[in-house]
Amino acid sequence: MKNIFGKITNNKIILKDEYKKQIDNVSYSIVFDGEIYNKNALRNICITKGYITDNSNIQDILIYLYAMFKEKMLKYINGVFSFAIVAGNKLFIAKDRLGTRPLYYYTDNNCFIFSSKIKDILNEGIDAVLSQIELCEMFALGPAHNPSKTYFKDIYSLKAGNYITLSLDDNNLKFEPNIYWDLNEKESTDSLDDILYNVKYLVKDSVQRQMHDNMSSMLSGGLDSSIIVALAKKEDFNIKTYSINYEGNDKDFTPSSYQGTKDSDYVAIMNKKIPTNHNIITINNSSLYDCLYESMCAREMPGMADVDSSMFCFCKELKENGVQNIFSGECSDEIFGGYPWYYRKELQDTDYFPWARSQELREKLVKPGLLNNGDIKKYILDSKSNVLNSIKHIGLNTYENNYKEINYLTLKYFANTLLERGDSMSRANNINIHMPFADYRIFEYVYNIPAHIKFGIIGNNSTPIEKYVLKEAFKDILPKEIVNRKKSPFPKTYSKEYLKMLEEKMLDILNSPNSKILEIINKEYVLELIKTHGKDLKENLFGQLMTYPQTIAYLIQIEYWLEEYNVKICVKK
């Protein structure tokens, strides 16, 4: 896992720790982070053009591709990556289609700095500043953010499926990122049988491409991880699997409409059908609490609270168990329709993001008078509208178009947040997480399956079935209990001890005159929340993942972030 860093300053392009190559009297340099899943196919393209390269050297291959095709090289690549190539006086930086690997940049007329770590940019003398826009990002959308923004003023994230080219010949460094990939609507005429065949092929192929020696897999007992384990077992009979549990959850677990069953029951069912060397990693409350700080540092922004810190703890334990590469079922729900907002009308008929309808809570969290009335609402509506304006519908079917819009929103905001989480928590612990469902070919194909087929609204059935196509495609290789299990989110702790730790820490922050977060949050409202233990909250902060405990933990992460990065708060009405 290589950190990418480079800059243009004093009319000179500088890359850190670059790999160099001379081709036809032109000097090329590259810094690359990621993994390319079709490396052999790319190498064959190079060979047909007369370039011979070592199969193990992906930097060679990418340089040759750029020499041949320039920015059009990106259409040939399947993988997760961010990289920068310098050829002569030109700089080319790019990010993978779904935006799994990070790449940030800062620019003014005379300087351009980019890195896969925000801290590297700040170390170049750039101030960490929270302005009104970033405050709105944090409280109107957080822990999500607009695809091109961060919580740092003037530091941007290169969007998924985008690239930037810069030339020293220009009089200044003004530019616009270029889109090379996006989800586009196409007419599908495939029959259900064709759809099931193609889905099965694409998922199998993605698992096979991402296999490594001594591969492991997460196994929650849900549909997605179970499919991956079943397919991976055919490639590696001795595959190890891992699930996560929390100290005290056996007695504290409380079923809800979102999480009605415990993972452990279904892991046992799966292991009986498809035996693996299974391991349960139990996270204790102290580690979960302590890792709120470490996980914030790994993401470099306040994130999904203990949903992040639990993944950080999990990856830390995986590394200590000798795991280097591990499969995850992430990104299946986002494209196959596993979330309630895909089929529940009351979640679709909202002006807000369907997983964050908590406008009232978000407004109350901000210090009174810091923003104008309606700023939070306007920011939410504008952010949603800006994304939807990118969609070009090809038909007039209202049901189909509404579904496509929800699917597109989910990719740009919800999926992006989860991908950042998985990548940053694993990278911080030197683990490679492989997500076969996050293959752009799967996204392109499944996005255009008609919604009524995707949800099994066929024949006499008028009730949507979550992830119907995926269930039908793989029902023959899984236990029926797994196939029929209702989607369950990433497990979290229900420990009263952990909640007590959060509330006590938040009270310490609120009662300390040195706490920076007091400049931006409504102290009295948060105190009231803690006093009632969140009983009056009507909406979750962020879907099923962030209820009252995670809301408090999110505020704690904001305080950690303000302190760690010495953030200057410059918010004016």
Q: Tokens standing for 466?
A: 């979550």
Q: Which residues are 557's β-sheet partners?
A: none
Rg (CA), the chain: 24
Give the whole-angstrom CA distance, residue 275 versus residue 500. 39
pLDDT of residue 543: 82
Give the whole-angstrom CA distance, residue 469 versus residue 200. 10
How many other CB atoms are found less than 10 A from the CB of residue 201? Answer: 13
pLDDT of residue 499: 95
pLDDT of residue 347: 87
Phi, psi of 99 (to 5 degrees): 75, 35
Residue pair 159/148 in contact by the 8 Å Cβ criterion: yes
Among residues 362, 453, 447, which one has the least CA distance to residue 409?
Answer: 447
Q: Which residues are 131's β-sheet partners?
A: 570
Give the whole-angstrom CA distance, residue 454 versus residue 432. 31
Give the whole-angstrom CA distance, residue 538 versus residue 545. 15
pLDDT of residue 27: 95
What is the helix (H) or strand (E) element at residue 521, kind and residue range?
Answer: none
Q: Which residues are 240's β-sheet partners?
A: 216, 277
What is the helix (H) or strand (E) element at residue 240, kind and residue range?
Answer: strand 240-246
Q: Which residues are 130's β-sheet partners?
A: 569
Residue 529 identity:
L
How would you label 262-280 residue by residue, b for 16+ Cβ within 10 Å and e otherwise? bbbebbebbbeebebebee
Residue 189 identity:
T
- Please calculate the CA angle 318-321-323 and round it to the nearest 5 degrees: 60
pLDDT of residue 264: 83
Give the whole-angstrom CA distance, residue 366 versus residue 374. 12
How many other CB atoms are found less than 10 A from the CB of residue 408? Answer: 18
- Please calculate the CA angle 352-353-359 and round it to the nearest 5 degrees: 50
Domain spans of the chain?
5-103+158-179
Superfamily grouping for domain 5-103+158-179: Aminohydrolase, N-terminal nucleophile (Ntn) domain (3.60.20.10)
pLDDT of residue 481: 95
Residue pair 22/100 in contact by the 8 Å Cβ criterion: no
How many other CB atoms are found less than 10 A from the CB of residue 257? Answer: 8
Among residues 71, 45, 31, which one has the least CA distance to residue 167?
Answer: 71
Q: Tokens standing for 376?
A: 């939070």
User: To which residue do tokens 């990106």 refer?
Assistant: 74
Residue pair 539/357 in contact by the 8 Å Cβ criterion: yes
Among residues 289, 328, 347, which one has the least CA distance to residue 498?
Answer: 289
pLDDT of residue 236: 85
pLDDT of residue 113: 96
Q: What is the pTM of this model?
A: 0.95
The strands making up 216-218's β-sheet, listed across from edge to edge, are 277-283, 240-246, 216-218, 325-327, 432-434
Give the whole-angstrom CA distance, residue 510 versus residue 513. 8
Could you tell me the mean pLDDT of each successive run of 10 residues in the chain, 573 residues long?
89 93 93 95 91 81 96 97 95 97 91 96 97 96 95 97 89 84 94 98 97 94 96 92 88 58 87 94 95 98 96 97 96 94 88 91 95 94 93 89 94 93 96 97 97 93 94 97 87 89 98 97 96 89 89 98 97 74
